[in-house]
Amino acid sequence: MEQRNEEWKREQSRIEMIQQVIKAKLEKLQEHMGGLKEGVIELRRDFWKDVTINLDHPDDVIETFTSIKQQAELLAEQERNHRQSYQKVQQLLRLNQSPYFGRIDFQEEGEQGAEQIYIGITSLMDQEDEDFLIFDWRAPISSLYYDHSPGPASYLTPSGEIKGNIELKRQYIIKGSKLKGMFDTGVTIGDQLLQEVLGGTANTQMKSIVATIQREQNHIIRNEKSRYLVVQGVAGSGKTSAALQRAAYLLYRYRHTLTSENIMLFSPNPLFNSYVATVLPELGEDNMVQTTYQQYLISRFGKGFSVEDSYSQIEYTLTAMDEPEYKQRLEGIRFKTSVAYKEWIDDYVAKLSTKGLKFKSFYFRGELLYSSEEIHDLFYSFDTDISIPNRLKLTSEKLLKDLSTFAKIEREKDWVLEEAELLDKEDYLEAFHQTQKQEEDFDDMEQEERFLKKRIVSKHLKSIRRQLKGLQLLNIEALYRIFLLSEHVAGPKDWPEIYEYTIKQIDNRVIPYEDATPYLYLQDQLEGRKANTLIRHLFIDEAQDYSPFQFEFLRQQFPNSKMTILGDMNQAIYAHSIHAPTLLNAELEGEEKIVLTKSYRSTKQIVEFTRKMIAGGELIEPFNRNGEEPTVTEVDNFEALHKGIMDRVETLQKKGHETIAIICKTAVESQQAYEQLNKQIDVRLMKKETNAYEKGTIILPAYLAKGIEFDAVIVYNASEQQYGREMERNLFYTACTRAMHELHLYSLGICSPFISKE
């Protein structure tokens, strides 16, 4: 006991020494930053004073440009230095509160004595910047902490494998620079530390897990070889957290060649984007590019169509069972998301190589300039061995050449001069500046007139030029309509009804969600599309919601990207993904698959309750954190339902639970529940447009809760009527597994058959 106390004192003394080093470094940095800030302000204020401006002669213009460029580069360098210093200050402030969470004593082969390696969220060197006091959790040597127990161990460095022996492995809980806990442990992160982290309340932002990374999670984080890293993880297994730490690791490992702009995350919804937005900044990294698949589709379609979102589609599948076209719509959704449908499009494109393409007509001032038939004949005059996109390029080049000739002729027409006479004073002034740039003699009336005519005609032709340069010659909408009408041998038997529904939506300028990817895929196959080569690592969360067709589409959009693919087949909730192939279970060349079966989010009682809802649930391992048993309450009417939920919310609040979710099946049910409960309790309604949430009690549909955790979850109506169909099983499971500490289900009538009666 006395030895333990002495060890505790030594560790606390070291924390205090670290604080002194941090304090000294902060003072030095803040003094340096003050000078940098003053320099930046001074440079901005006096920017033009230090620039020589002379535009009298060409040589003077070049000298002026060089002067401006040098001044801008000097300012940018000063701003960059200030930003880097600010980031270092933020890292030091975080270290000051909790400098490290782990230690290993490692004796390298051939060395005398073991070195004490302290591990934290970032590295720290001594005041002379000679020796490491703390190692960054991403450093190669830190992998010893996550992957090995005391005894023989090794780690990989860029120069090779380092072998040795771990003599001690210790974990710390440090808060406010005070040592609160200290545990010597084996291979996995000890239960005491996990209990401390997991036993707290849920936050409105995802927490960093660097202090509690498990061995299997570390394998995900440090994987550098796999083209496709596929992670099948049960609810609460930490797969998303590990993926975000993986992004931080990659930015650290390849910091000289990789930036946050080279990494993109496809997340399930904007709310989730907000939920995970602080993880990378907490680790001292800039956030990666974050989007949703829906946002990506909208960015591609522009303003031509309204694109149905996946939430509208799932609302339809969960609520429109009585509508006449319901069965056919579901059949259409499943088929249009399949690889077979993609192959249909490929066959269609092959046929269009020889005939059948539909082109736009181009009009100039209300009169036909190039007819669709004229462009059609020009396109098919080129050799059919040339790909469609390349023939479009040749066609476009010919039309642009003709357009230049047309523009020269058009400038001499009366309408151009008439329009020139109506120009505003500002237009003349702009023309004057343009003339100066082009060394035109503005005193010469003929030159002035010629310049203005050229400008006016170019303005009218701008849209046509833009479309021709962008190879936007085809009528993609007409081609997709024809494709839907063409004969398909292997299609669903209800294809005529599916076609009719789709055409009706397109007539209303709406693209159904199941048609959005095929439509863009067809467009890309015909027009060609410059791939996104900037993104080198793509993270796809909730991958079970992506169809094989969507994955093939993404592979074409990001051909140079490695992919980290995360999901849980038990949370597949969309019509196309239930009992069907998805991105998560596709066979990919060059993939490595990691399966996570241990759930850390929920208490042991909640995991044991929820795993009975799904096939194979017995394989899910609960973390040994005890809590209250989930409850199931059946009521006879809405009045009793709302009374029970309101009483439960009050009880949960008194217990100190800060995030309470009342999870409904759909947005329609969420709205109805909100209208009733809002009269009696403080509650907020979350919709698909919601970008962030605060602590408190919220009502939301189950599909918006994906990936997020709450202190307590109340399932609004867990009845057989609401959750009785097999296709609703995964949605029900998803709702229940959001709970960290308490789960309470209310049922209006007989409860769902997915709830075990054992």
Per-residue pLDDT reduced to its tens digit, 699-748: 999 999 988 899 999 999 999 999 999 999 999 999 999 999 999 999 99
Which secondary-structure segment (H or E) carries 651?
Answer: helix 638-654
Q: For 268-282, 689-703, 728-742, which range has the lowest pLDDT when averaged over its residues? A: 268-282
What residue ranges in 220-343 does DSSP mark as E strands? Answer: 228-233, 263-267, 289-292, 306-307
Are the C-beta atoms of 62 and 24 separated by less than 8 Å?
Answer: no
**Burial zone of 218 (CB within 10 Å; 0-12 exposed, 13-18 middle, 19+ buried):** buried
> Is 235 annotated in some ligand binding site?
yes
> Is 236 annotated in some ligand binding site?
yes
Structure confidence by residue, pLDDT tens digits, 596-635: 999 989 999 999 999 999 999 999 999 888 999 999 999 9
> Is 233 annotated in some ligand binding site?
yes
> Is 366 annotated in some ligand binding site?
no
Mean pLDDT of 353-359: 95
What do you get for the CA distance between the two ends of the chain, in Å?
47
pLDDT of residue 66: 61
Residue 193 pLDDT class (50, 70, 90 cuts): low
> Is 239 annotated in some ligand binding site?
yes
Q: State both tokens at 559.
A: 């051909």
Structure confidence by residue, pLDDT tens digits, 393-430: 999 999 999 999 998 888 888 887 787 777 665 665 66
Could you tell me the CA-to-CA distances from 206 to 100, 188, 218, 275 in Å, in that order?
Answer: 20, 22, 18, 6
Q: State both tokens at 430.
A: 């702009």
> Is 240 annotated in some ligand binding site?
yes
Structural domains of the chain, ranges and CATH numbers in brackets: 1-192 (no CATH), 223-348+509-596 (3.40.50.300), 362-470 (no CATH), 604-608+615-748 (3.40.50.300)
The pLDDT of residue 302 is above 90: no
> Is 387 annotated in some ligand binding site?
no
pLDDT of residue 442: 46
pLDDT of residue 564: 95
**Burial zone of 525 (CB within 10 Å; 0-12 exposed, 13-18 middle, 19+ buried):** buried
The percent of residues above 70 in pLDDT, for the chain, comes to 84
Structure confidence by residue, pLDDT tens digits, 35-94: 555 555 555 555 555 555 555 555 555 555 565 666 566 656 666 665 666 778 777 888
Are the C-beta atoms of 399 and 467 separated by less than 8 Å?
Answer: no
The pLDDT of residue 159 is above 90: no
> Is 199 annotated in some ligand binding site?
no
